[in-house]
A = this chain, B = another copy of it.
Amino acid sequence: MLLNELSAADAARRIAARSLTSEALVEACLERIARRDGEVHAWAYLDRERALAEARLRDREPARGPLHGIPFGIKDIIDTGGMPTEYNSPIYRGRQPKGDAACVALLRRAGCVILGKTVTTEFATNHPSQTRNPHNAAHTPGGSSSGSAAAVADRMVPLALGTQTGGSVIRPGAYCGAAACKPSFGSINRAGLKFVAESLDTIGVFGRSAEDLALALNVLTGRGLAEPVAATSRPRIGLCRTPRWRDADGETQANLERAARQLAAAGAQVSDFELPSGSQDLFDRHAVVMGYELARALAWEHAMFPEQISTSLMPRIEAGWRVTRTEYDEVREIARACRRRLAERSREVDFLLTPSAPGAAPASLASTGDPVFNRAWTLLGVPCVTLPFGSAASGLPLGAQLVGAFDEDMRLLAWAHWAERELAAR
């Protein structure tokens, strides 16, 4: 196995055992990027010399944390000191923030090495970026964390940060065949993040495995790793088709039901799970909340540089200005009520199993795909994990999404680790 293909957990174990240096790992990643990024376009900015210099520093000191010396990609919507942060908008070309966002500072503090900035779609919204799906360059990688998903899936870097406001972590993770986690709202500090919709924007992580994601969340949230799930355990899984099941294509429906059967064969008690009343609204009216906040968050850009805003984003901003405060407050109130109801219902199951996306990555670069199976969970603030599972007839990866109870991120990742093993074994 090439060094750039190591999972973060394996690489960290080797670094801790002094059988691998951070420098060699960073070099392997940089070589992979040099070889592949001309096709994938996952990176907005790289500072090879700084990354290597920092890796050498990390190699000379005692471990600061469980991911000491591990390279990270940072979505270019998150501030980084000494590296530009441009939000993939011409308005911000050449912008150099003074310092690191809180999440980046936390990674550095724990000994991680920031490799560079991964491509975001424009302001982390829907206008397609230059990034291609690493499995097939004619397909979208999804968005808005396009670069982070593609870079991790293409073995350019073991871990990367993304953000999700609608479906921007879970969907590109599934499309590219990476594991990814959007933790609970409030899990990872957002100071230094450019806001799209502040009541929704959630920082998340892409990695090779549930174990990698758990290590990253341990560093980023300070929460301890959950006890591993015993091989003999019989989780209660809620199979949640959601009110939008018909939006999933046949492959996705069959694939998710196959995942449920495999987990049942591994000992799980699988039952159908219907979301609490009112949840339908969250699927239908997420755009009310996102649009209202988006228009305000980008009010300055919209007023000053309308001609530098893409033709995808402009109508969304304009729609956002048309949302009334009453309508916005109403959907927020529905979301709060649904959060309470779902929290009560969450005791019935250990986790939910639900589609990550309506299908594999579409054969198009004109759209980043549909976040229909992500938006309601973002609005509910609950933790979500996508695991690569199965593949489409096109050869592109499919995924399965696990959803946990609010603030139980680490418990969900322990179940995801169990599910990943059982899904691979059968």
Q: Which residues of A contact B (CB under 8 A)?
A: 81, 91-92, 95, 98-102, 104-106, 108-109, 186, 189-192, 194-195, 198-199, 221-224, 293, 296-301, 303-304, 324-326, 328-329, 332-333, 340, 407
Q: What separation, in Å, do the CA atoms of A390 and B199 have in the docked complex?
A: 39
B81, B106, B199: the one within 8 Å of A296 (CB): B106
Total copies of this chain within the assembly: 2
Contact B186 A190 (CB under 8 A): no
Given A189-B198, A195-B191, A99:B300 Cβ within 8 A: yes
Contact B98 A98 (CB under 8 A): no
Contact A300 B222 (CB under 8 A): no
Contact B299 A102 (CB under 8 A): yes
Contact A108 B303 (CB under 8 A): yes
Measured CB to CB, the nearest residue on chain B to A323 is: B222
For A299, the chain B residues whose CB sits under 8 A away are: 100, 102, 105-106, 109
Given A186-B332, A222-B325, A297:B191 Cβ within 8 A: yes
For A407, the chain B residues whose CB sits under 8 A away are: 329, 333
Measured CB to CB, the nearest residue on chain B to A410 is: B325
Q: What separation, in Å, do the CA atoms of A91 and B100 have in the docked complex?
A: 13
B195, B329, B340: the one within 8 Å of A190 (CB): B195
Q: Tell me how far the C-beta of A328 lies from the nearest C-beta in chain B, rounded to whole angstroms.
A: 8
Q: Tell me how far the C-beta of A129 lies from the nearest C-beta in chain B, rounded to whole angstroms.
A: 21
Contact A296 B191 (CB under 8 A): yes
Given A81-B304, A299-B109, A325:B98 Cβ within 8 A: no
Contact A102 B297 (CB under 8 A): yes
Given A222-B325, A325-B222, A300:B198 Cβ within 8 A: no
Contact A109 B222 (CB under 8 A): no
Contact B198 A191 (CB under 8 A): yes
Please give me the 6 A-B residue pairs with the lowest Cβ-Cβ distance, nearest first: A105-B299, A222-B325, A191-B297, A99-B300, A191-B195, A189-B296
Q: Tell me how far the C-beta of A325 lies from the nearest C-beta in chain B, rounded to whole angstroms.
A: 4
For A303, the chain B residues whose CB sits under 8 A away are: 105, 108-109
Contact A98 B92 (CB under 8 A): yes
For A192, the chain B residues whose CB sits under 8 A away are: 195, 300
Contact A105 B186 (CB under 8 A): no
